[in-house]
Structures are given as C-alpha cells and as structure tokens.
Structure 1
C-alpha cells in the first residue's frame, strides 16, 4: 500500500509538500528503500555521480529556480536526522525572494547513496563543491542546520572563496564532544540504534530537540527513519547512519569556527540544548553540555564578521517553529 503524506507541519509548514500517512494505524508498513524510495520530496530529485574513497556513489539534490531571479544561489545543508525535504518551506521562501535554491542530500543521507566506507566531513565538503561546479555556480550562500552546520564550517574553512554568507541554524558542533563523552565502539552504536523503536525515536526527537511542533508534524521524520527497516539493504543504511554519529564525535569543528572570515549568522533556539552523546557522558558533565545559544554568542564574538540571534521559546527546528522570525533574519542577512 502506498503512503500519502500530509502536506503540513503546522503553520510553519503550510507551504511544505511533505506528506504523512492516511492509512490505518494497524495497516502494515510498505518498506522504503534505503535511498528513501517511496518517500515523497517536494521538488524533482536529480543525481550527481561522485567518488568517495574509491567508491562510486550518487549524490541526490533538488535544484529549484527562483520566482524572479536575483542572480544568487542558496545551498541548504540538512541535519543528521532529517531528509532534505524538511527544507520545503525555506525553499519556497528563498525562491520567492529571488534565489535559486540547491538542496543536496549528503552522501549517507536521504536519497543519496549509503557508502560502505566511513563518512568524513572533508568528503561531504568536496561533494558539495563538486555539485556547485556541476551546476556552474561559482559562489553561493550557505544556509545550514544542525549537522549541516558542521559541514558548513568545513566548507567555509576549505573553500572560503565559494561562499558569500554563512547561516548556521541551530548548529551542533559548537563544542568538542570528546571533552565530555568517552569513545563508543561502532558495533555498540549499531546495536543501540537497531533496538530503537519508532515511539522511542519520537520521544528522543521531542526531548533532545525541544521540538515545539505538533506530534503529527514529526511523523514524516519517523516514517523516513523506520519504513526503511523492511529493506534488505537496511544494515548498510544503519552502518552509514552510525558512521555519521562517529563523524560528529571524531571530527570536531568548534576550534575552527573562530577562524571563519565569511560573514556568518547564528540563528539559535533558546530552548535548544541538543548535545550528541550526552547520555554517555559522566553524569557530572552532562549539565555542562548543550549550552548552544550561549556558545554561539561566545564564538560569534571571537569571529571577525559574525553575530548570533537567539529566538525565545524555540527548539532545534528553528526554521519550522519560528518561520516568520527566521525569514526576517535570513533575508535581512543575505541582503547585506
């Protein structure tokens, strides 16, 4: 049975074409493929061949034209637990403001290939630049969220001439998690993730991300994660997902952020205290982790051209929870 997803994420997602199931709760799930075959995206998806560590892969992306072009392009970088389709309302907002909008799924995520090897931020950065080259885009604005913020930092450091502005939306990686959390074996992480249920994952999202959206607005994220369990390739997806967690831990960017010269705007949710690995940290250290809004302010003060904006009563999904304020901040900043 095909799934039809409701095109709504409360008021913040009126423009979104994300959909949610209308089948009975007791109906069996039709499994997605591990490249999210069967999960609808709001715009056509294209594939770019890339090679990472000798492995031939495909990088999926959406390329949305501007309503009335201003000659500029925004690249949207997604987080770890979300398919890039969740950017739908931001894509619409930017397109209507005159920007071409390029929205990749990084390798290992969404509709892109799941590699057999490990994920690394430098490979993801090179893939993103290869996509810009393929689309003949010399310079772009980068708007990133969560894990995408760590990638955005890597791109700004390695390819500073390729971006004009950097917007870090509720980024993770503002602290070095190795200072708090002991290393965890990959096989142990795979075992833990494999045991996670859909309901436990929903609670995890609501708790870790302080999500203010209605419960039904989170359902597409649950579906995207758990409908792939029926795929015969699920073990490969699971290993790639765990590899992304190890990448966050092993490849910190906090020490590089103050070195970014690109004009940078942090947009933080005041209630977002997400800190990957916190449950594994010694109890005495857990309260010291995830002070993200304060960390953003401290880092911005060290940077040559940056500022931090904190939106009250907002969690990790800033652009969905406070869409009007987010629009105001982003368009004003990109208009500088």
Structure 2
C-alpha cells in the first residue's frame, strides 16, 4: 500500500512540474515579441511590385565618434540582434553601426512571392543606407551575410571602403563539388518541420564543434519561436527560397575581383556546408573544412588579411567575443 501511494505521489509531483513549466515562446511573422538589444526601426520601400519593410538598428557611436560607419550583415540562421556584442564593441570604439534584417528574415517582410538574389538584397540594403544619408561604409558580414557582403562590395565598390567576413559560407561551390540539389519544395518540407531541439543539435555539432553555452539558447528560441508562430508557412517558404539562393548563386568565383582591403575572420573548427546532410559520403568528407577554406580564400582575394581562431566554430564573435573584437578592431585601426 505504501509503495502504491508513493507511486501516485511521484506521478502527481511530475504532473505538477510539467504543468508549471512555461510554454516555449512563439513570435510574430516579423519576430514581434522578441526583444532587440537596441531600438528597432523600419525602412519601408517598394521592390518587385511589393510594399516591403526592413527592420534595422542604427546605433550611434559612444564617446568620441570617428565618423566611420559599419554595416553588419547577418547569417541565414541569425538576425541583426545576434550582433549585440559586436555592436557594443564597435560603438564603444567610436563607430556608428547599422545592422539590418534582410527581407525574408527576422523582423523584415516575408513576401509570398519574391525573386531572391544576393543582388536584390544588396540593392535593398543600398536603398536603406541612402535613406540614412550614408555613402561610405565598412561592411561586416557573417555566414550567409558574408556572401551578401561580397556581392554588395562588388556592386558598390565606390561605397565600400573595407570588407570583413566572419566564417562566410560560399567559400566553395557545393553544387560543383557534387552536393545534390534540393528543390524549393524539398527545402520547404524540411523547414516546416524545424524544432528547437533540431536547431540546437545542428548548431552544436556544426557551428560550435560539439560545444554549447547557455547564452546560445536565446538564439535557438528566436529561430524556433519565429518558425512556430502564426507566420509558420510564410517563414518556412521564405527560408526555402533563401536556401535555394544560397546554393545556386556562389560568389567564390568573384573573390578575385574585390578591390578593397578585406579581412577574413575564421573559426577553423567550422564545418558548415549547405546540403552536407544529403551529400554522398565521399562528397561530405571534402566540404566544409574552414581550416583549409579560409587560407584558400585569402590567397585569391587581392588585399586580404586572414585571422584564424583555432578551435572555434562558425560564430567566433559569439563564442569568444573579446578575442574576436580585439582582432577586428586592430585591423580596422590599420586600414
């Protein structure tokens, strides 16, 4: 009898614990409900016959302003908000910082039909800077934002004074290396099933070399809450279109055409490669090696400086922000 009573009590306690566990947060189609580290503004514009808007932060320099502006471009599984520590480090050093969410991402519009290209996203961003009266920038791009930063620098070489890329994807052409093509419909089916556990597992193994820090959880919640919110289908569909853009529009062949001083900041334990999960074993074995890719890119880009972070993964600015920002600010002060 005592054993049965103990079992019942245990079940009741477990049920009570589950009942008090807060539900996972969900966010609006444009990430409504998620707090950004600095005031969020919106740039409204017309593109492809649609009225769209881009969320962005325009953060002034603190202390003695040096008159220079950095434009920050986020990655595929990131948002402008994930630049929070970089924005603080840069503004503390006297830089004005503009960090925008690209169309299809985060706090920006998720159009039902949109022809995604890096040229289009660059054009959108150029219009944002023009509206702010900014004509000279240093561009800092992370992950997919590195591909966009490259395209932006190629389209607007007179505006981009310096270019910096943090573990940019697109340092190799996966389709040319034998990674199978996923259709947009296949990408959509994949993105529609996104969960917090799946995001966390992927990022831990691919981005952070098997490591995890509690502060990364906020960004998992951000992505999962956006995907599982009321805009679920549009968020997943735009994500699918963006993956197709990334896979089919390589920039690696044009690195040789970059004219401005360029900094590559590479966590050399990164293994990110789009489509590696469906690649044949022999293809998967030879892609996503940033300890090799960073050096190769530095040899091709005319005025390149390579800084490697041994043992760090896809987002060194988030894993070891002090080490990362020391290297970035040192380069900025010399160029």
Give the TM-score taking structure 2 as reference length. Answer: 0.90
In the alignment, does 2:132 pair up with 1:131?
no
More displaced 10-residue stretch of structure 1: 92-101 or 42-51: 42-51
Per-residue deviation at 1:52? 2.4
Residue 80 of structure 1 aligns to a residue whose secondary structure is: coil
Match of 1:307 among 305, 308, 318: 305
Q: Secondary structure at the match of 1:275?
A: coil
In the TM superposition, residue 24 of structure 1 has moved relative to its aligned partner by 8.5
| Structure 2 residue 35 is the aligned partner of structure 1 residue 40 | yes
Root-mean-square deviation (Å): 1.7
Contact 2:183–2:244 under 8 Å retained in 1: no
Per-residue deviation, 1:226: 1.8
* Structure having the higher Rg: 2
Name structure 1 gaps, 5 residues minimum: 1-22
Q: Which runs of 5+ in 2 are unaligned?
A: 1-17
Q: Deviations over 1:265-315 (max 9, x none)?
A: 101001011111111212111111012232221221122211211111111
Per mean C-alpha deviation after superposition, the further-off stretch among 102-111 and 215-224 is 215-224
Q: Aligned pair in 2 of structure 1 residues 284, 71: CA closer, same or farther (>3 Å)?
A: same
Q: Which whole-Å deviations, capped at 9, do the CAs of 1:204-250 have from their partners, x for residues lacking one? A: 11111125764422211221122234533210111011111111101
Q: What is the match of residue 279 of structure 2?
A: 281
Q: Does 1:173 align with 2:203?
A: no
**2:179 partner SS:** coil
Residue 79 of structure 1: CA displacement?
Answer: 0.5
Indicate the residue corresponding to 1:20 in structure 2. none
The answer to whether structure 1 residue 187 and structure 2 residue 185 are counterparts is yes
- CA deviation string 1:161-189 (max 9, x = no partner): 11111110111000011122121111111
- Identify the residue that residue 110 of structure 1 maps to in structure 2: 106
Cα deviations across residues 77-128 of structure 1 (Å, max 9, x unaligned)? 1011012111111101000110000000111111011122232111110011
Matched ranges for 1:86-125 at <5 A? 86-116=82-112, 117-125=114-122
Label 1:54 to 1:169 Cα distance change in 2 as closer, same or farther (>3 A): same
- Counterpart in the other structure of 2:12: none
Q: 1:38 to 1:283 in 2, by over 3 A?
A: same
Structure 1 ranges of 4+ moved more than 6 A: none
SS in 2 for 1:255: helix
* Alpha-carbon distance, 1:27 to partner: 2.2
